Structure 1
Amino acid sequence: MSRFWSQVVNDLTPYVPGEQPKIANLIKLNTNENPYPPSPRALAAIQAELGDDAARLRLYPDPNADLLKNAIARTHAVTARQVFVGNSSDEVLAHVFMALLKHEQPILFPDITYSFYPVYCGLYGIAYQTVPLADDFSINPADYTGRPNGGIIFPNPNAPTGRLLPLAAIEQILVANPDSVVVVDEAYIDFGGKSAISLVDRYDNLLVTHTLSKSRSLAGLRVGFAIGHPTLIEALERVKNSFNSYPLDRLAIVGAVAAMEDSAWFEECCTKVIATRDTLSAELGELGFEVLPSAANFIFARHPQHDAAELAKSLRERSIIVRHFKLPRIDQFLRISIGTDAECQALTTALREILG
């Protein structure tokens, strides 16, 4: 703490990202990274952008990233006016909180959800109320009905639980809150759900956010986007251009465009992750774990006879890292990212040893 800190900084409780340890021969199942490489076309596009004329990096990128907006629009059958892009979906969400969720009424989000949401509220001075998940850790749309609010946000599938909310349930929330923006954070939707992007032309209060970090294997490029009614997109553009007019560099733009266009690679990687997730869920069930239904590239599991923190510690001693949240209701769960088949097999082998 310093006497030079503003009161805002003094009051902040920052987000804690997943650990990125530098340990040799590590099996890293804690940050939901894709175990497979990005599209070869994305890598080729980045190399071509450098090419023989690397001096072009002295020039600013396109502030509007029109190439990327058009590629996203084609992929999702919307217009470019309905697309906003930013430096990761975290930055996109940060702009969403400032542009669309800062009102007199508190915003609503689940009590167990992406832990960046309350951080944004603290940073921007936004009041919020948490809505408890059901006993089975699902979101109940009825809990978002008849509650005055300044907006609603939730991940789908939810994080860290992995549970999916059907489109009909999302529509129920939209219909019940016509005067509030409903933000559906779809960082993991490509691993088993139907995107709410299909609803944006019917509901002007819907905004859907995505990232290329998970299903497109581009966490290192930091590219995210939002799709919604053009008036919502305009609000995000106004905030972005009051903060950083050039959030995406030249390499990120061309790499992301190529990744969006390589649908075959995208589908193949997602299919492999889903198959491994289903196999791992079944094997953990055989070991006595309760595994929540997941539509994400991770699973959320607990063992009724073994403390989660001790399990995480024992796995770490075997150079396998998973994520443990020391939070109410979920402190006995482990969030396990889906790795390769070999990595997940090493995990189950280690758990058999630990469980005896």
Structure 2
Amino acid sequence: MSRFIRELYKDFKSYMPGEQPKDRKYLKLNTNESPFPPAPEVYQAMRDADMEQMRLYPDPTGSKLKGKLAQLYKVQPGNIFLSNGSDDILNFAFMAWNDSADTLVIPDVTYSFYEVAAKLHEVNYEIKPLKEDLTVDWQGYIGIGKNLILPNPNAPTGIALTRVQIEAIVNSNPDNVIVIDEAYAGFGAESAVPLTVKYDNLLVVQTFSKSRSFAGGRLGLAVGDEALIQDLTKMQYSTNPYAVNAMSLILAEVAVDADLYYQENLQSIIESREYTAERLRELGFAVLPSKANFLYIKLEGFGGRELYERLKERGVLVRHFAKPRIDDYIRVTIGTKPQMDELIAVMSEVIG
């Protein structure tokens, strides 16, 4: 750290991405990536891409992709926002609608990037605890009169709210922006996207990373009222107007057209998740009810850090968060059924 850094950031704790070790071959179940490759059409589009065009800046509006997404989500192109991953969009949301005069409400057990972004932008925020069973206390958000950010399903628990519950929150806070982070959309939870045509204070954020096997392409999208989209665009054009690279735009357009391929993969992951949950319960694990592409689990007599380290020693990577209330848990990404069988075999060895 240099002597020139702002006082605000000297002791700043930034977001810590999941580890990507290269020292050996691992069964990688720690960063919630898809176990399936992009659609064959995406491969073909990459081969056919006119590389001479890479000397030009990409379309900052992403108009062609927005048109395809609007058709898929049954909204208008003006209701779609694109950027370099969903975290980029969340960052713009914190910039656009929150400052030291507002209060943003964040769940206590959730995606740690939210609190990092709030501190980065000097946003006044408060932490709202989950219930004892680690579910979101959605009724506690009714008429709260503050801006909210809620992941659905929640991470790292995987537990989802229903669309009816989300609508009750949005409807009861008409003068506040409600951001629903659907990074894990497609794995069984109800999307709030249909509600965006009814409420002008709702923004739904999604990503191509998990459901469309495109984590390396860095593409996020948001759906909301056109005025909210204009706010985000103002933030983006004030920082990086060419946020989405040309190749990602080309490949994402093809990915949307190949939606059936991805829907089949999502169903395979859901089936693998339920299979794995049952096998883990047979081993004695407590498994939270997940609507995401991961499971949150714990085993009596073992700490979360101990399970993480023992699995890593045997070539299996999972995620552990050393935080109050969840220190005994580990998060396990869902892979293919053979990968999950490998996990179960190693887990059986670990716990004896």
**Shared fold (TM-score, shorter chain, > 0.5):** yes
1:108 aligns with 2:105: yes
Distance in 2, matches of 1:272 and 1:23, equals 30
Distance in 2, matches of 1:24 and 1:39, equals 28
Partner residue of 2:237? 241
Partner residue of 2:38? 38
Provide the secondary structure at the position in 1 that maps to 2:54. helix
Partner residue of 1:221? 217
The one of 327, 331, 337 equivalent to 1:331 is 327
Return the offset for 1:11.
Answer: 4.1
Partner residue of 1:89? 86
Distance in 2, matches of 1:70 and 1:146, equals 35
TM-score (normalised: structure 2): 0.98
Q: What are the Cα deviations for residues 170-195 of structure 1, in whole angstroms up to 9, with x where unaligned?
A: 01111221110000000102000121
Structure 2 letter corresponding to 1:143: G
Q: What are the Cα deviations for residues 182-221 of structure 1, in whole angstroms up to 9, with x where unaligned?
A: 0000010200012100100111100000000001000000
Distance in 2, matches of 1:218 and 1:67, equals 18
Q: Trace 1:63-142 onto structure 2 (pairs within 5 A).
A: 63-102=60-99, 104-142=101-139
Q: Trace 1:259-298 onto structure 2 (pairs within 5 A).
A: 259-298=255-294
7-16 vs 68-77, which moves further: 7-16
Provide the secondary structure at the position in 2 that maps to 1:191. coil
Percent identical among aligned pairs is: 41
Partner residue of 2:24? 24
1:299 aligns with 2:286: no
Distance in 2, matches of 1:279 and 1:161, equals 18
Structure 2 letter corresponding to 1:128: Y
Structure 2: stretches of 5+ with no match in the other structure: none
Distance in 2, matches of 1:146 and 1:197, equals 21
Distance in 2, matches of 1:303 and 1:274, equals 23
Structure 1: stretches of 5+ with no match in the other structure: none
Partner residue of 2:144? 147
8 Å CA contact retained: 2:143, 2:169: no
Q: What are the Cα deviations for residues 294-347 of structure 1, in whole angstroms up to 9, with x where unaligned?
A: 000000000012122111111111100100000010000000000111111111
The one of 311, 314, 318 equivalent to 1:318 is 314
**CA 1:181–1:56: 2 relative to 1, 3 Å:** same
The one of 162, 166, 172 equivalent to 1:166 is 162
Distance in 2, matches of 1:289 and 1:232, equals 43
Structure 2 letter corresponding to 1:31: T
Return the offset for 1:97.
Answer: 0.9
Partner residue of 1:61? 58
Structure 2 letter corresponding to 1:322: V
Provide the secondary structure at the position in 1 that maps to 2:216. coil
Structure 1 letter corresponding to 2:140: D
Return the offset for 1:135.
Answer: 1.0
Structure 2 letter corresponding to 1:197: V
Partner residue of 1:205? 201
Distance in 1, matches of 2:133 and 2:79, equals 35
8 Å CA contact retained: 2:106, 2:115: no
Partner residue of 1:349? 345
Structure 1 segments (4+ residues) deviating >4 Å: none
Distance in 2, matches of 1:19 and 1:272, equals 26
Distance in 1, matches of 2:70 and 2:145, equals 33
Distance in 2, matches of 1:190 and 1:8, equals 38
Distance in 2, matches of 1:231 and 1:97, equals 16
Distance in 2, matches of 1:175 and 1:293, equals 27
39-48 vs 91-100, which moves further: 39-48
Return the offset for 1:146.
Answer: 4.0
**RMSD across aligned positions (CA):** 1.1
Return the offset for 1:145.
Answer: 2.7
Distance in 2, matches of 1:219 and 1:272, equals 19
Q: What are the Cα deviations for residues 205-253 of structure 1, in whole angstroms up to 9, with x where unaligned?
A: 0000000000100000000010000000000000100001101111000
TM-score (normalised: structure 1): 0.97
Structure 2 letter corresponding to 1:21: P
**How many residues are matched?**
352
